[in-house]
Amino acid sequence: MTTATDELRFFSFGGGWQSTAALVLASRGEIPYRHFIFANVGDDSEHPGTLRYIAEHARPFAEQHGIELTEVERIRRDGTTETLFSRLTREGSRSLPIPVRMSNGAPGTRSCTADFKIKVIARELKRRGASRDNPATVGIGISVDEIGRANKRRAEPYERIDYPLLDLGIRRTDCVRIIRSAGLPMPPKSACWFCPFHRPSVWADMRREEPELFQRACDLEALLNERRAVLERDPVFLTRFNRPLEDAIPDGVDVLPFADEDSGCDSGWCMT
């Protein structure tokens, strides 16, 4: 007999390699998930490639295999939608919800994951019946080669966290094989296009392949610093190099491998 708790089983879908591999595994019955939830932080905030991939490939694939892929957004009390980009750029806003790099290169505090991923998905889980007494099982797409991220993930009272890719011993390279075996193209890296946790090589690829998007990131960084200058505060940056993005990632220059670093986004809600 299936209990209410058994039915509350959802996978947090990030739109990247691990989440898409999990979608394929679910379609084959290899992991017990028939409902995936994508917390969209905003059509103006998510990387355009991720939104295209979900619309053109992930959602049709899910529908074809009888899997529900639900998209949720942050809704204000007045019923309007708030995006991460709109919060950052709102007139008069002093909010810095993303982990901008401070003058010493260290990331600042952030609320983007909590406000635009965790709380948004929580609202959907609770709407579907999850509670402290009846928690939902939430699958997170962390693979074996990123197992350290799983150790830093704190469960909320209304959920039980599950790592099905870890249980199956799946690595990121396995995700490539799994996705391609289903006839799907590889998704782009999932993250906000202005995320300060981008590796330098990601910024370099963006400057080379998506120059307009890269310029938007430069403009956003400049806007944040214009506001900080008025408040007589130190500048912040989208990279750890303590200089503007346009200078930190030179045009036409390859980023050396040792310049890369591991992503600081350890929750598993983003970049999966």
31-45: pLDDT as tens digits: 999 999 999 999 999
Is the pLDDT at 3 greater than 70? The verdict is no
Which spans in 65-210 are helix H?
A: 84-89, 112-113, 119-127, 147-150, 164-167, 172-181, 200-209
Query: Any idea what DSSP says for residue 254?
Result: P
**Its pTM surpasses 0.85:** yes
Is the pLDDT at 147 greater than 90? The verdict is no
pLDDT of residue 2: 35
For 129, the token pair is 């019946």
For residue 106, give Cα distances in angstroms to 144, 198, 216, 232, 261. Answer: 26, 14, 23, 20, 13
Region 65-85 average pLDDT: 96
Gap between the Cα atoms of 21 and 179, Å rounded: 5
Q: Kindly report, residue by residue over 162-208, the tens digit of the pLDDT.
A: 999 999 999 999 999 999 999 999 999 889 999 999 999 999 999 99
Q: Kindly report, residue by residue over 8-21, the tens digit of the pLDDT.
A: 999 999 999 999 99
pLDDT of residue 268: 57
Is the pLDDT at 106 greater than 60? The verdict is yes
For 4-189, CATH number out of 3.30.450.40, 3.40.640.10, 3.40.50.620, 3.30.870.10 equals 3.40.50.620
Is the pLDDT at 114 greater than 70? The verdict is yes
Count of alpha carbons within 13 Å of 243, Cβ hemisphere only? 6
Q: What are the phi and psi torsion angles at 173 (to 5°)?
A: -65, -30
pLDDT of residue 271: 66
pLDDT of residue 5: 43
CA-CA-CA-CA torsion for 200, 202, 208, 209, nearest 10 degrees?
-170
Q: Let me know how long the chain is.
A: 272
Could you give the residue range(s) of every CATH 3.40.50.620 domain in the chain? 4-189
For 126, the token pair is 């609770």
